[in-house]
Amino acid sequence: MTNSSHVSFVFRGFPALHLWRRLLAVPLCGVYAAVLAGNGALLLVVRGVPSLRRPPYLLLSALCAVDVLVASAIVPNVLLALLVDRDRISLAGCLAQMFCTHFLSVESTLLLAMALDRYAAVCQPLRYERLTGRRAWPALLLFTLARSGGVMAALVALAATLRFCESRVIRHIYCDHMALVSLACGDTRRSAAAGVAVIACFVGVDIPLILLSYVQILRVALRAAPGGEERRKALHTAFSCLGPPGEDPGANVPDHLDSWTPVSDIQFLTFTVMV
What pLDDT score was predicted for residue 6?
Answer: 83
What pLDDT score was predicted for residue 266?
Answer: 41
Alpha helices in the chain (DSSP H): 21-48, 55-84, 91-103, 107-123, 128-131, 136-160, 177-181, 189-201, 203-224, 228-240, 243-247, 253-257, 262-274
Residues with Cβ < 8 Å from 102, sequence gap 6 or more? 148, 152, 155, 156, 177, 198
What pLDDT score was predicted for residue 236?
Answer: 65
By three-state DSSP, how is residue 184 classified?
Answer: coil
Count of CB atoms within 10 A of residue 87's CB? Answer: 19
What pLDDT score was predicted for residue 38?
Answer: 93
The rounded average pLDDT for each run of 10 residues, N- to C-terminus, in the chain (275 residues) is 73 76 87 93 91 84 89 88 86 89 81 84 81 80 84 87 84 84 84 82 84 84 66 62 51 41 41 41
Residue-range domain boundaries for the chain = 8-274
Strand order in 169-170's β-sheet? Answer: 88-90, 8-11, 169-170
Residues with Cβ < 8 Å from 211, sequence gap 6 or more? none
What pLDDT score was predicted for residue 251?
Answer: 44
Element containing residue 124 per DSSP (H, E): none
Count of CB atoms within 10 A of residue 187's CB? Answer: 9
d(CA 59, CA 66): 11
d(CA 13, CA 159): 20
Burial of residue 89 (CB within 10 Å: 0-12, 13-18, 19+) is: buried
Specify the amino acid at residue 137: W
Cα dihedral 113, 115, 121, 124 sign: negative
What pLDDT score was predicted for residue 34?
Answer: 93
d(CA 204, CA 247): 16
What pLDDT score was predicted for residue 234?
Answer: 60
What pLDDT score was predicted for residue 134?
Answer: 76
Count of CB atoms within 10 A of residue 110's CB? Answer: 23
Instruction: Report the CATH superfamily, name and number, of domain 8-274.
Output: Rhodopsin 7-helix transmembrane proteins (1.20.1070.10)
